[in-house]
Structure formats: structure tokens, C-alpha cells
Amino acid sequence: MFAEILSLLLSLAQIITGFTLGMLHTEMSPIDYGGTTYVEPVVTRWLTLVNEGESDYVIIKGASCSPSELTAANELQKYIQQISGATLEIVDDTARLREHEIIVGKTSRENEGSYTVDREALGDEGFMAKAVGEKLVIAGGELRGTLYGVYDFLERQLGCRWFMPELTEIPSNATIKIDANLNNIQKAHFEYRDDYWNSAFNTDWKVKHKINSDNGGMMPESYGGGISYAGFCHTMNALVPVSHFEEHPEYFSYREDKDAWTLEQRCLTNPEVLAITIANAKATLRANPHAKIISITQNDNGDYCQCPDCKASDGYYGGPSGTNIWFVNQVAEALEAEFPAVGVDTFAYQYTRKPPVNVVPRDNVIVRLCSIECCFAHPLAECGHERNESIALRLRDVESSFAADIKGWSDICDRLYIWDYTTNFNLYLNMFPNFQVLAPNMQFFVENSVKGVFEQGNYTGGKSGEFGEMRAYVLAKLLWDPYCDVERHMTEFMNAYYGKESAPFVKEYLDIITNKMIKTGHLSIFDWHYQGVYFTKAERQRMDRAWDAAQTNAGNPYQLENIRRSRISYRFYKANLCADEFGIFKLSRPAQNKILYKDLAKYGITRLTEHGPYTQDPNFFLTPIEWK
């Protein structure tokens, strides 16, 4: 009973706060979701590859082509057949020259002088798709470039879409024709690209979107492999195990406030800690010969060592980040001879976020700068608001310290990576309107010489009830092309996922919450439901009408299910603030909560938070935030 009374009092306080802030009606403004507006190219001459289901084209591959180039040829054949009904023969480059060829990958045809492929400029993953007379050439880096080129050609020229592993659109056209002046050259902006969402773990989906991380699923050799970590994050417990503590507490972090050695971190100035770390790092890499990167990263807490030696080192190097780089540099130097191709990864995270002085990372060191504290309602380059700040501070303009940090690290580090965050980890279902910052932030990374990006979202299981599938799709597009037309990709996804008749109403809802967040709030990845945005009664009524219209106009059961799943986020918001049908004084509130709870399971939402599944058979008098 006490819990119920406390919940009631907290809900009343939130209602009063929400009512007060909700009185601030916000006028709607157009939302700029970023990127460069797509313009349909003007075609003056066509090259016909298939005419009414018939074709005299063949696909040419190299007799000694790489595994991914073989996949590229097979995939091109498969999708052309699905689109047009025509099955193009695949032949080696040892075959005679023909007038009509689609040349895939590295072949002897390059020696004829009609075209060249600058693989040094393209790198392992870049490609070109070029019409050369009556021929089509799709070729690039032998590792993954040609395969990426084929998927890009299928998408950009032939209209294929892979929105989700289970949601694809393959057109049906008996005639396939392309721009006879086609000359599409692309290179990767980032050497490492990771879209860490549940819906993005499927390897077949990942390769089609040029995701090259092995996180969430190892990329096979037929796809050119992927970039694997040995360990991924917070690895010091594995490298210097806690089993050492009983005999050697001095290996661990001394904390002045406790006047004791503690298990939380390691003493990085202790030479024995360095030796143990090096030995275990070598053993880890020998056990993981496929790894391209090893993680030497602090544990997930702020209790760094404050022993006299570490304090002196921090003072000289400008803070704990400097001591960390000094330590990791020594590990990297010790690994380099045996593992020359392996990058040694460390964090710029929380207490190590600020760039150091008097030390720079070695060439084989990767620094992963983490944006965990930042606001994600506004671009990182512009907004300096960070989580756990006062309400008064949230109402003022604050210069971005993260912008200063990324520039500082970029000045001293040749391989700067970003760990970025794209959901609310306390409450996965909380409104998280961040689509408007995805492109500006990705462009900001490019413009500050970032080499790799890890986009962390809902990775812990189940479906998303908060636009997660669309966010994963848009992020995949931006990781390859940070300047792409985001709203175009959003529109295409929503048309497929919700249906063309329903999508505009879902977009109306998204625009409303985005507009309100931009103008009245800030967005942290750990905000509670009462820390976000509040809506007037009129705004909530408009949002309900939009969802109702979306459901009414759904074209099929699949689209209706997706609409209802996405609407759960809005219902979750109202239930936690005891608004409308979830009103705190309504006798039907527990029944409405029970319906919401059942819908979580019905639509595949298994978690409310990163930290575990929600409670089974909760007290429906309590608000949903207390079910976790």
C-alpha cells in the first residue's frame, strides 16, 4: 500500500509539473531532418540491359576473383532475375569479348584500355558504377568495394530497398534500363561503421547497407569479412582480473574518499599492472586471430586511481585521460611487433573525455570519444547541455564542450572513433526525437577527421516501440553517406513500414514531438519520463487524431501492427504522466495500464530498459515506469 501511495504522490507532482510546462503551446515549424535534398537525375540517353524479359548481356567476373566479388556477381544475377525474369549468364574473364557485358570486380577487361579502376584511391570499400559504351562496369576494392557497388547499383539504379531484414521492396520490371552516362564513384567516409540496433544485426542486411562491423553478427568471407574487436569495451576486468586483489590491492584504484584500494579501476602507473595487461592482451589476440582491434578500456565507473603516482601523472598529462594514453601507448608499443595490423583501442569517456597534454596517442592507437553526456535534441556542435544539469541551466544557451573535445582529440589522434548514442537507455519506450540531429552530427564527425563511428541503440532484445527500426535504417544510410537526404529515406521507410496512406499521419506525430523537443527541451540518453517534453491538451488531442488516422488508413495487417507498435511509445508517455485515458483519478486507469502491458508482449517489446526484462504481472495501479 505504501508503494501505491508513494506512486500516487509522485504522479501528482509530475502532473503538476507537466500541466505547468504543458501550458507552453509551441507553434509548429518545418523540421529540417538534414542532409542534401535528393534531386532525380536527368537522363538524356538510356542503356537497356533487359528488354521485355530478354537480354543478351552476360556478367563477367575475374577467374581469380575475391570471395566478395563472386558474391557480387551472384547477387547481381539473382536480383536482375527477380526484377525482370531474365537470367544473365555469369562467365569468367577468360571468355571471349562480347559487345554486351556487365563487368563485376577486377578482371582482365581493365587491360583493354576502355576503362580503369583506381583501387588505391577507392580503398578496400570504395567502388565505381560506370557505363562504358554498351558495357556496364561495377568494380572497386577487392575486399568489399565491388560488393558494395553492386548493392548500391541495385538500390540507386534499379529501385531495390532493404528496409529491414523482413521488409524489402524488389521492383518488377520486364525491361531494365539505366543512364547511359552513369558514372557513380563512392568512397567510405569512415573506416569503421557500426549500427548497433537489434534490427541491424542481420548480416545479410548489414552488407547491403555497407556496415562493416562484426558486432551483432560476424560477416562471412563471402561478404568480405568485417572488423572484429578482441574485447569491445570496459575490458580492464578481463585484462587485470579481480582475482589479483587479495594479494595485490595496489594493482587497483586507490580512492581518497575511502582511503582504500578499490576494485573499480586499475592503477595505471603500477608497472606490474602494465606487464599483466600486455601479457593478457597478447594472449587475447592469439586466441582471436581474426581481430582487427583490441580494446584496452576503463571500466564503467568514475573511480579512477588517486594514488600519489597516478595523481602526479594526471597533473603532468592534464588529467586521467593523459595517464590513460600514456599507459595504452606502452601496451600498443609492446603489441606492435607481433600484431602490426591490429589497432589498440581506448576510451575518451567520462573522466578521460578531455584531450591530454604532453602526450599523444601512438599511430596504432585508436581513441573512442564517447558522447554519453550530451544533448541529442540539438546538434553536438551547437548545444552544450549535458545530463544531470539543473533546470535553470537547461534554460540557458551553453557552448558545446563536446565540440571542443572532438577538435582537441582530432588534433592529436590519427584514428579517432566515436561512440554515439541513439536511444534512451533508462526507458527504451520514451519519446526520443533525435532524427533531426543524426545527419548534422555525422557530418560533424566527418569534418573533424573521425575515422570510425559506433551508433548504439536498443541492442538488448525484442522489437522497438519507438521508431527504432526506422532509426537503424537511417543510421545505416548516414554511416556510408553523412550528406544523404534523411527525410527521403524516412519517407520511403514509413511508406513501406506503415503504408503510404498512413505514413503522413505517423510523420505528423513525429514532427509534433520533434518540434516541441527542439524548442522547449533537451534530450539525454538517461532522461526519465518527466524530464523530457510536455504537451498541452490540444497537442495531445492532435497526436491522438494522427495515430487514429494512421490506424484507420492502414493498408494491411502488417502495417497496422507496425502502427500500433510505434504508438505504444506515446501511450507509455501518457500512462507515466497519468494523462488522458490514464488519468490519475480515473477508475479505469489500472485497466488501461493492463491493456498497455499486454500490448507490450503482443507486439514483441520485451524490455523497457537496457538493464533487463520488465516485471511479470505488475501492479497496474503503478505507472509503467515502475514495471521494470
Beta bridge partners of 194: 454
pLDDT in tens, 504-524: 999 999 999 999 999 998 999
Res. 390: pLDDT tops 60: no
Q: Does domain 46-187 have CATH number 1.20.58.220?
A: no
- Cα of first residue to Cα of last residue in the chain, in angstroms, is 19
Res. 265: pLDDT tops 90: yes
Q: Report the pLDDT value the prediction gives residue 389, as an integer from 0 to 100.
A: 54
State whether residue 215 is helix, strand or coil: coil
Judge whether 619 and 625 are in contact, CB under 8 Å: no
- Rounded Cα distance, 424 and 598, in Å: 22
pLDDT in tens, 66-105: 999 999 999 999 999 999 999 999 999 999 999 999 999 9
Q: Do domains 46-187 and 209-484 have the same CATH topology?
A: no
DSSP H or E segment with residue 261? strand 260-266
Res. 21: pLDDT tops 70: no
Q: Which residues contact 619 (CB under 8 A, 6 or more apart)?
A: 3, 4, 626
- Rounded Cα distance, 113 and 204, in Å: 35
Judge whether 530 and 430 are in contact, CB under 8 Å: no
Q: Which residues contact 351 (CB under 8 A, 6 or more apart)?
A: 302, 304, 319, 320, 321
- Rounded Cα distance, 485 and 572, in Å: 31
pLDDT in tens, 332-382: 999 999 999 999 999 999 999 999 999 999 999 999 999 999 999 999 999
Neighbours of 62 (CB within 10 A): 23
Res. 308: pLDDT tops 50: yes
DSSP state of 430: S
Q: Report the pLDDT value the prediction gives residue 20, as an integer from 0 to 100.
A: 46
- So where are the chain's domains? 46-187, 209-484
Torsion of CA 378, 384, 390, 396, to 10 degrees: -80
Per-chain mean pLDDT for the chain: 94
What dotted CATH number matches 209-484?
A: 3.20.20
State whether residue 506 is helix, strand or coil: helix
pLDDT in tens, 560-598: 999 999 999 999 999 999 999 999 999 999 999 999 999
State whether residue 601 is helix, strand or coil: helix
Whole-model pTM: value is 0.95
Q: Which residue has the higher pLDDT, 187 or 13?
A: 187
Q: Which of 25-39, 218-232, 425-439 bottoms out in mean pLDDT, i.e. has the lowest?
A: 25-39
Residue type, position 389, single letter: E
